[in-house]
Structure formats: C-alpha cells, structure tokens
Amino acid sequence: MHHRPDCVLCRKIQACDDRTDATLIEEFKHSFFVLGDHQFFKGYSMVVVKDHVRDMMDLPGKLQMEVLQEVMFASRALQETFQPWKLNHASLGNVVTHIHWHIFPRYEDDPDLLQHPWFHSAEFDHHKISADLARERATLIRSHL
C-alpha cells in the first residue's frame, strides 16, 4: 500500500489495518468503512480509500467503480441501521488530499434539512463520542452490512 507519514488518513488506514481504531466498521477490498469523528448526524461515517491517492479520477477505471460500490455498500448499511430521511455524500479532499467519502445520514428533525452537512460544523466538536460508544455503533452498523 502507498502511504504517507504526514497524512492523517494514511495514519488512520494504518490504525484500521492494525485493528486499533475504535471507529472501524468494516474492511472492504479498496477501502475502510469507518464511523466519523463526530456524530452530530447519527451514523455519520466515511469510506477511506486504502492508498494515498488524490482524486477518484486518478484511480484505474475498474477501481473507480469498485470504490463507488463500496460507498454504496456502506450507504445501504447506514440506511438500514438508522432509517434516515436521506443520505448526503461528499468527497472533497481539499484539506486532506487522500480520497475519502463522507456519508451523512440526514433526519426529518434536522433543524436545517435543506442545508449542506457542514452548515452546523461549529457544533461538531460537541458531538464527539467515546471509543466505547464508537465501537458499539460500529458493531451495530456492521450487523447491517
């Protein structure tokens, strides 16, 4: 695997590989499915590609499709676990240039349902969860894969 020591997601991939990351939900062929670092949106998760690659277009075509399919496996599990109103997907990578997909379950009682998921980002830090709760939630989601 191609990793960079200065990349926060490469370090996360390493921790997932070592099974020391409490947010690990599942290992896919090309990615790890992990719980997000906050739960402002219940079930907020990420699919992080194993290799340090900058953009989806930089992957070979077959891998592009397989990674998207892994994002869909993850999405289906989140849908079945939490029954949200809708899922939002985002892959930006301006801050961390290592392909990752954010998956935000959105709920009907969301105060700003029509807004993008970062609309309340100032509050995200107040919704961090303990390693124990992360493991519990990851186990629950895994049971729906």
Residues that bind Zn ion (CB under 5 A): 7, 9-10, 52, 98
Report the 10 Å Cβ neighbour count for 138: 20
CA distance 128 to 40: 8
Q: How far is the CB of 7 from Zn ion (least distance, A)?
A: 3
Q: How far is the CB of 80 from Zn ion (least distance, A)?
A: 30
Q: How far is the CB of 15 from Zn ion (least distance, A)?
A: 12
> Between 52 and 106, whose beta carbon lies closer to Zn ion?
52
> Between 95 and 122, whose beta carbon lies closer to Zn ion?
95
> Between 52 and 137, whose beta carbon lies closer to Zn ion?
52
